Amino acid sequence: MIRYVLTAILIVIIFVMIIVIESFLLKVLYLANSVSNYAMVIINGSRRLLNIP
């Protein structure tokens, strides 16, 4: 009986950890995407300033 309770708790903990890691990865991907968009804006602006097509 105790073994089943412990395995159930372990499965719940693993699910929670998976959800936390997934949300962290999504945040990191969103941050990288916004940073790359910002870099593209800077590159396009500097190209316009230097008259590079």
The residues near 47 (Cβ < 8 Å, ≥ 6 apart) are: 53
Distance of CA 30 to the CA centre of its chain: 6
Of residues 4 and 31, the one with the higher pLDDT is 4
Q: How confident is the model at residue 53 (pLDDT cuts 50, 70, 90)?
A: low
What pLDDT does residue 49 have? 78
pLDDT at 51 over 80: no
Half-sphere exposure in the Cβ direction for 4 (13 Å, CA): 1
Q: Per-residue pLDDT tens for 5-45?
A: 999 999 999 999 999 999 898 888 888 888 888 888 888 88
